[in-house]
Amino acid sequence: MGKKETASVEETELIAASEPQVIVKKRPVEQLSYFAVDGTYGDAVGLTIIDTGDWVAEDFDLVEDASDGDRPEVARLISDWIQLDRNSEEVEGRLSQLGVDAAKYR
């Protein structure tokens, strides 16, 4: 039995050695870019993609009310707010801290 086990190990090693070797070098991400179907492209650092299927026009107005740098967070908060049936003092408070008055659209 011991000899058979040794033969199985040797066969396995031979099979593994005969298979092609694929070496994948992992490198750190240096830059993220986006490419859109409308032809636009650019730097994707900080890019946020959100399902806006449940949004109404006023939700987009809230994003417009936010400063450029706050828009990704505002959009995430609006999505959370919608999931909470637009009834969350916590989300509304955070939006207010970002200069967005969600209460006027409730």
pLDDT at 12 over 50: no
> What pTM did the predictor assign?
0.64
- Mean pLDDT across the chain, nearest whole number? 80
CA distance 85 to 67: 25
Distances (CA, A) of 40 to 3, 18, 43, 52: 65, 47, 11, 20
Domain map (residue ranges) of the chain: 2-105
Percent of the chain residues topping a pLDDT of 70: 71
13-40: per-residue pLDDT in tens? 444 555 556 665 666 657 788 898 999 9
